Every structure is written in C-alpha cells, then in structure tokens.
Structure 1
Amino acid sequence: MKIKKYRALVGAAACSLVISGCSQLQSAPDTASTDKAKNVIMIIGDGMGPQQVGLLLSYARQAPNSVIENRVTAFDKIASNGRIGLSMTNANQVLVVDSAASATQLATGQYSGSEMIGADKDGYAAESILEKAKKMGKSTGLVSDTRITHATPAGFAAHQSHRSLENEIAVDMLNNDVDVMLSGGLRYWIPKEANDKQSDVRKELEQLTEGSVRIKSKRKDSVNLIKEAQQSNYSLAFNKAQMDKADGKILGLFAYSALPDAIKENRTKNDPNRTIPTLKEMSAKAIESLSSNDKGFFLMIEAGQIDWAGHYNDTGTMLHEMIRINETLEYVLDWAKGRDDTVIVVTADHETGGFGFSYSANNIPQGRGLPGDVFKEQMFKPGFNFGDESILDKLYEQKSSYADIFYGQFDALEKDQQTPANLAKIVNDQTGFDITEEQASRVLATEENPYLTEGHNYLSSKVVPKMGPNGAFFVYQTDDNRQNLLAREVAEGQNVVWSTGTHTSTPVLVFSQGPQNLIAPFSNIMHHTEVGQRAIEALGEK
C-alpha cells in the first residue's frame, strides 16, 4: 500500500473510533452533576495509539478463540457510559513527544520540553495534579508495570532536567510523600553498598525482600531510600504477599527493573508461588488503600509495556499488553460502578511504532463459491490478501516476547551456537510465524553504525544490526534492533506493517467516565496540556 494511502487509512480509523464512541453517548445513561470529583483516576497506556486500541478490538471481536469475555472490552464499556475525545501529544516546539514530556503535560497542564520531568517549557518546576491533590488533603498514588521512576510516573511526582536521572527522581518521589507507589525499580532506591554481598545493608535488604527481588544498586551514593521510607512510615512490600498485608502508606518495589512482560504475567498468573503482583492487582491494592481517605484521592496507573512492544515491533506481545490494560480497566470500571464522585480518564502519552494490519500481495487467497445470486456464475476471489482472522489467535498464542527470544534464549546459547539455524528454531518454537535460516541470517546481519555518536546512550556502538532503509527511525541500535528485524521477516505472515521503532505524532484517544458536566470537556479535539488542565479542574482546582 502506498504510504500516503496507509496514513489516510490510519487517520480514518482514528476518526471512526471517535465518531462511533460519541454516537454511543446519545443512549448513555446520564449521571449526576457535581462541582468537583472526590477521586480522579488517570490510566495511561504508554504507546497506546488508536492503532493499538484497534488491535485489541480486532482480537476481541474477530479472533475465532478470543479470550475476551462476551467479546466486549473495557474500552467498549467506558465508551458506552462516558465520552471519547482526541488529543494531540507534541511537546513544546517539536512534532513528536517522548513519554517524559507527555506525562509532564498530562500531569501539569503545561507545555514541557523533550525528555523533561515535571518542568514547563522554560525549565521551571511545574506543579502536578498529584501535588495539587496532596495540598487538597487527598491521598495520592502511582502504579506502573515498568519502574516507579520511569518517565510516565516520574512526570507526576518529580522535577528533573532529564528522564534519565532516576536516582534523583526516586528522591523527589519520596520527598513528595506519594501515599502509594507500586511498581518495579528497586535499583534506584538502595545505596551503592548493597552491591557488596558482605555488607550489613545487603543482609538487611535480603531479609526485607525475602529473596523476592534481585538486589543490585544503580546509585553512585550511600543514600538508602528504603531506610528513609521506613522512617517516613511507609509499609514496605517486595512481593505480592507483603503487598496484600500492607496498609497505610505503601512503597512496593517488586523487581530490580521492570515487571515481567504481559506474556510472562499471563503464563504465571495462576501460579500459587507467584511473588510479583499483576498490574490489575497493584491497581486494586492502590484503590483499596487510597479510598480510605474521606477527602478522596488521585491515582495514576500506567500500562507501560505497550510502548516497549511497539518500539520492538512485537505484535504478539503488544496484544498481550493491551489485554493487560484491558483487565486493569475492567477492574477500575467495576469499582467505580454506581459512583457519582469519581472521574476516570484513560489515554496514552503517544503512539509507538506506527502499527497497522495491512493487505498485501503475499499468499493471495484461492477463489471459492458463495451462495448469493451475485456470485452465481463466478467465484469469490479477492485480488489481495486482506488478512485471515486466524492470525489474531496465532498472535495471542505467542509464547515469548521478542526480547525474551533474544536476551533470554538466543543470547544464553554458547557463542558458537548463536547461529541463524538456532535462532530460526527458537523463533519457530516460540511464535506461530516461522522463519527460515536465510531469514534468520538477515536478522543477525550487522554493519558499521551509520549514526555513530560518541558518548550517546543508544548510538555509540560501532557495529550494529543492519537496518537498511529508514534506519534512522530505529534508534535503539545495539542488539534491540534484532527484534525489529525479526518483525520485518514475519510481517507478511502477520499481515502487519510497522513504520518506525520510535514514536509517532498520531493523535491519541481520550476516554472518560464520571459526572457528565466534569467529563464533557474531554470529548473534544485537545492537546495533552488541555487534558491535564481538565483533569485538574475535575478535582476542583482552578
């Protein structure tokens, strides 16, 4: 498909989602009006553009063996009972946003600069909705399936010049006295001495964590934020059992870095020995704890790994990540059912990957007869392969993320066994889309870095995977780009196209539910600064 035509279809799809959602409002039950909301819950699907929502809807409605109950998603439900809008995401004076600036804009209602945390476009600290809620006497919470110090949660509770300053972000979060923080990222909360296996601090942490979390620090100092959290009356949790027992203020850090991807989470969900809570379980715990405050609460929940699957063009994993946010949203909507004091806003910080199903010249279907009179004298034979619905089931059946295929399995082989044949074997075992040894060779091909930038976090490797055309848009070079190359090799079998390994400027959907006068402003075409302003106004802050 020509690029212009493809972009037009993507835009049309986004508009049709908005229009269909708004038309449902005509029959939606009216809810009581109120001057302000007691509670505001903002759910952010990192990287979740209209295309990602469309993937979930296609799976729910069309997959022959869909696991979505009654084939109705939580997004269908919030659309039926609330409002849908569309939001531009760009940071100040640029076309495309990163998660830090986007989260900051959602949190503060002010324009921010690229990669800034909690700062306005001029670099001044900007007060967030979380901080405003705190001043109003409300409880506050942050939940993420990435790291608590990662860009999106950081935008709500820290003020730093760059998103990479996660050690400093952790200090800001603790100083901000956020009541409930549940995520991963222990490595930024423990002192450098924790790396000494014989140190007292290491032994104390081993006892506190009960062996549930890898203990390794990325701090360069002796600051022990876990100790400081204890002194600030936080209940600490490093596994699901500890989280379930915790009350009051809670700091839960369940992984060294990020929590498991959604495929792993789904595989272990029913394991009685599981130590890491799911995104839904963390969200439920946060709401349970925060709702004890008679003055109400603000809670931000991030499904952050939709973005990561998009960066690596991993369609099967992205489907599972969308199912993860869907399950979490289902819980939140059930909790809010019958309430007239809560505003729920569901949106994305941006779209990642430029994803879409597309029709192709590959494997054109054979003709078949149809009973209708129009086809009485000819076969039904489309001129292109428009994608069989069975693809959706095969995507769901993927056993491992592309990241795990490479880092967890292929890279774990001895060097002399890291061959195209063995990569093909792993891919064919873990996904429903086989590749040949020749294709695996292309995935493993390398070249001298055409974008070599000394000292750059991602562009400093001299030899990188060979991306070829549009390589400038696959910036996480090193070994990560092998995943994008694998995506290219299975694209024909999946009827999937990806345009980039980074973010796009595609406007994102904004779903809202609550008192009609408070959510009506969310049903327009907005910018993320306006989404943030309207969320702040819903709390009663002008």
Structure 2
Amino acid sequence: MVSDGMSTGTLNMADLLLQRKEGRRSNWLKLYEQNLVHRGLVDTSSANALVTDSAAGSSAWGGGVKVPNGSLNVNADGSFNKPILQKFQSAGKSVGCVTSVPIAHATPAGFSVNSASRGSMDDIAKQYLDLKFDVLLGAGKENFSSEKRKDKADLFDGFKKAGYDVVNSRDELRSVESSKKPLLGAFIESALPFALDASSDRELAAKIPSLAEMTDAAIKKLSKNPKGFVMQVEGGKVDWAAHSNDVGGLLYDQIAFDEALKVAIDFAQKDKETLVIFTSDHGNANPGLFGSAANFDKIQTFKNTNDWILRGITHRFTPAQVIERVEAAQGYAIKKEEAERLLTFYVAPKEEGLYNPYKLPFKQLGEIQSAYTSVSWAGTGHSADFVELGAFGPGSELIKPYLKNSDLHQIMLTAAQVRV
C-alpha cells in the first residue's frame, strides 16, 4: 500500500487533524501506537538520482532493482527486470492494482510492466490487457477509450471480449461483487476527485467509489483464489496535492488512504495469512505545521481544496469574488492584495509544475494559505527523505529498521514463499 509522495509531515498532520477533529488517531499511527507492526525507514533513491520519481520508486519494489528515473523496470542498458505481479501471477496467485490516479500511471505500472517511459500510458494500458491481471481499478479512462487513444483502439471493448467485467461507476462496481470474472474499472478521466471535494459533492460521491471502497472490492475479488493474491493500492492524489501545496487536498486524501489501509488491515486480522506493507515511494514538498493550533484547526471545516478554488476562477473575476470563493471553500478571508496577486496569473498564466496543465497559481495560493493554516512547504517537488514503512502480518518480521526500496521485492517474494 503506497501513499504516493507522503512526507513524514503529511503522515503526522493527518494524524493530528483526526485527533483534533474526530478524537481518534489515524489507522497508521494507531498500528504504531499499539505495537502491532514492524517498522523501518526506507531509502528511496533511484539508479541515477537521490531524488526518485514514482516510476523508478515503484520499479524498485516491482523489479527488485533500482532503475533510472522515468523508466518502468527498464535498466540503463535497456534490459528488463521482470515485474513482481507477473512473478506472482506465474505462481498461480491472483493479482491486481487499485489507485486514485490513472491505472496506467507510474506507481501501479511499476509493479506490473516494462516500459522505457512512464509517459507511455496508452501502451501500458494495452500491456495490462495482454497480461490479463485479475483486478484493475482507478482512473484514466482516456487510456482505454477509442475516442482518446492515439491509435483509436477500444480497450474497454477488448477487456470485455477477454472476459472482464468492465465497470464505470460506484453502483456498477457493487453490482459485480459476486462475479467470478476479472475486473476493470476506470471511473473517470485523469484522476479521481480529491477526497475533500468529493465529500462536498453528492453527485461525485455517488458516482465514483472511494479508495477504501475499491480496495474492499478488490480484496473480495482476489481473495477467492485458494493460492492467494497480491495487490498494490496507491493513494496517488496525496502526491498531486503535495506538488500543488494544497493542504486540504493533501490531508484529506491521506485520510482517504488511511481508510483504505484499515480495509486491508481488517481483512488481514481476520485472515491471519496476509502480509500488509504500507509505505511511500518518496516524500514530496515536505509540509509541516509551524504555528498555532487554532490556525491548523481551520482545516477541520474545509469544504473544498485549492484545486477546486483555482479551477473556478477566471480572468474576469474581481478581487472580491476571489475572496468570496476562498472563504466559501475554506472559511477564512484572504486580503485584497492577496486576491489581486492570484488574479495576475489568470491574465498571463505562467505557473508551471506537475499535474498543472492550465498553469494555475497553486504555489502562490499555498503561500497565501500558510498564513491562515500555519502549514508551510519546503517546495513543490519530490524530496530525498527516507520514508516510513510499516508491515503487519506473517512476514512482517522480515522488515528491518533500515531498508533500500529495492529490498522489498525479495522480502515480498520470501514472505509469500514464491521462488523465481
């Protein structure tokens, strides 16, 4: 289980938010507190950089070898490392991936395929069809749709012809719960909505399953195999929010991941034969609380993310309209000059950054927001920080206090008693 881009501060603040808002700990920290897991710190470097990207990070687990940034289980010399889900599939186990971002995105792909470029998501989706994995759930409809793919291939139809249940909504996912067919669900283009925005939009919440719901559906499907199963679950929007310095997006998607973690742990506690590993592929933006608890507590009543705020603003907005939109979404009123600063980016868009095709001023709003929440950021990119790892269940004793990310490949194979 991968909370993509989860810096230690993200884990800490999500736990603090839950304690102060709901009087409970996060499931992750509760497992630590009750001494139910083995823990370690993980070196996340890639073959060619101290700061990894998600492709190389997931490939280190998936292929057992550190590879260059941008590649998926492909070494610098062009040779391939066999991905771990293919190894487990060959051993007779059911396999699958669940994510809140495109199912052909870097993190699920790192467990699954070989590709010289993480950006070749149409090809990665085609590889999934050829591999015939048992469960694929997430977003990225455009990589399967004949209307969006460059080659105009209809992969949705291809999966149906291959015997899959293909679902497009939360209700459809529930309707195939008892089916014995393999399962594909790509519920929306690009990525699932941020958890905070979905919670404030009844239509979105009704149509699109949460990460926890997808995790539950996948476990029910995969666990029917008497030879066992292996799956990867990714909270990918944690990373996207960190890149955008979006504290509401970040913490509520971390909580959404934490709810998915509970689903997995609950199953493992009953099953007693399942190892659950939960970690991150790298830190991102290194956020932290640097100020008053009263400011931090404002996040408890947030209704929408910075993403929602900025996507709804146009160059025709007045500063007063910007102030009104921020206050409606997050409960505080920014200053007129702060609103004017944001509007300059709509007159002449110039902001860059990952997952920001419309060049919205995410960094600038994050800086403004810091004064009202006391949460600050070190940057907008990945970090070289060691990341937290916890492991629950049989095989968790294989986890050492310090590991390299590539060590996890063999640990998983050893725990499942699979020799390749």
Q: TM-score range by the shorter chain?
A: over 0.9
CA deviations on 1:361-412 (whole Å, 9 max, x unpaired) are xxxxxxxxxxxxxxxxxxxxxxxxx412x334311321211111111x113x
CA distance in structure 2 between the partners assigned to 1:241 and 1:352 by the alignment: 34
After superposition, the Cα gap between the structure-2 partners of 1:418 and 1:58, relative to the gap in structure 1 and judged at 3 Å, is same
- AA paired with 1:397? T
CA distance in structure 1 between the partners assigned to 2:246 and 2:356 by the alignment: 16
Q: Per the alignment, in what secondary structure is the counterpart of residue 274 of structure 1?
A: helix
Alignment match of 2:410 (pick from 521, 533, 539): 533
CA distance in structure 1 between the partners assigned to 2:337 and 2:185 by the alignment: 46
- AA paired with 1:533? Q
Are 2:72 and 2:106, in contact at CA under 8 Å, matched by a contact in 1? yes
After superposition, the Cα gap between the structure-2 partners of 1:234 and 1:96, relative to the gap in structure 1 and judged at 3 Å, is same
- AA paired with 2:12? G
Aligned to 2:335: 436
- The reply on whether 1:72 has 2:25 as its aligned counterpart is yes
- AA paired with 1:495? S
- Structure 1 segments (4+ residues) deviating >6 Å: 475-478
CA distance in structure 1 between the partners assigned to 2:145 and 2:357 by the alignment: 28
Aligned to 1:145: 100
CA deviations on 1:479-506 (whole Å, 9 max, x unpaired) are 4450110111121222122111111111
Aligned to 1:410: 313
Aligned to 1:387: 292
Are 2:198 and 2:205, in contact at CA under 8 Å, matched by a contact in 1? no
CA deviations on 1:91-112 (whole Å, 9 max, x unpaired) are 1121111111111112121111
Matches within 5 A, 1:9-158: 43-61=1-19, 63=20, 66-67=21-22, 71-79=24-32, 80-158=35-113
CA distance in structure 2 between the partners assigned to 1:137 and 1:180 by the alignment: 15
Are 1:91 and 1:114, in contact at CA under 8 Å, matched by a contact in 2? yes
CA distance in structure 1 between the partners assigned to 2:256 and 2:163 by the alignment: 31
- The reply on whether 1:323 has 2:286 as its aligned counterpart is no
- The reply on whether 1:492 has 2:371 as its aligned counterpart is yes
Aligned to 1:35: none
Aligned to 1:222: 152
- The reply on whether 1:521 has 2:403 as its aligned counterpart is no
State the identity as a percent.
27
CA distance in structure 2 between the partners assigned to 1:528 and 1:111 by the alignment: 8
CA distance in structure 2 between the partners assigned to 1:535 and 1:434 by the alignment: 49
Are 2:243 and 2:354, in contact at CA under 8 Å, matched by a contact in 1? no
After superposition, the Cα gap between the structure-2 partners of 1:478 and 1:135, relative to the gap in structure 1 and judged at 3 Å, is closer
Shift of 1:419: 3.3
CA deviations on 1:237-258 (whole Å, 9 max, x unpaired) are 1111211122220011111221
After superposition, the Cα gap between the structure-2 partners of 1:323 and 1:477, relative to the gap in structure 1 and judged at 3 Å, is closer
In structure 2, the gaps of 5 or more residues are none
Scaled by the length of structure 1, the TM-score of the pair is 0.73
Aligned residues: 414
| Greater Rg over alpha carbons, structure | 1
Q: Per the alignment, in what secondary structure is the counterpart of residue 280 of structure 1?
A: helix
Are 1:44 and 1:349, in contact at CA under 8 Å, matched by a contact in 2? yes
- AA paired with 1:502? G
After superposition, the Cα gap between the structure-2 partners of 1:306 and 1:135, relative to the gap in structure 1 and judged at 3 Å, is same
CA deviations on 1:47-103 (whole Å, 9 max, x unpaired) are 112111111122233x2xx13xx5132113332211110001111121111111111
- AA paired with 1:441? E
Alignment match of 1:256 (pick from 189, 205, 210): 189
Scaled by the length of structure 2, the TM-score of the pair is 0.93
CA distance in structure 2 between the partners assigned to 1:233 and 1:315 by the alignment: 42
CA distance in structure 1 between the partners assigned to 2:76 and 2:269 by the alignment: 38
- AA paired with 1:235? D
CA distance in structure 2 between the partners assigned to 1:83 and 1:267 by the alignment: 37
Shift of 1:354: 1.6
- The reply on whether 1:238 has 2:115 as its aligned counterpart is no
After superposition, the Cα gap between the structure-2 partners of 1:354 and 1:480, relative to the gap in structure 1 and judged at 3 Å, is farther
Q: Per the alignment, in what secondary structure is the counterpart of residue 230 of structure 2?
A: strand
Shift of 1:295: 0.1
Are 2:145 and 2:154, in contact at CA under 8 Å, matched by a contact in 1? yes
Are 1:316 and 1:396, in contact at CA under 8 Å, matched by a contact in 2? no
Are 2:4 and 2:280, in contact at CA under 8 Å, matched by a contact in 1? yes
After superposition, the Cα gap between the structure-2 partners of 1:268 and 1:404, relative to the gap in structure 1 and judged at 3 Å, is closer
- AA paired with 1:75? W
Shift of 1:121: 4.0
- AA paired with 2:175? K
- AA paired with 2:327? N
Alignment match of 1:445 (pick from 344, 349, 353): 344
Aligned to 2:242: 310
Shift of 1:418: 2.5
- The reply on whether 1:164 has 2:119 as its aligned counterpart is yes
CA RMSD of aligned residues (A): 2.2
Q: Per the alignment, in what secondary structure is the counterpart of residue 47 of structure 2?
A: coil
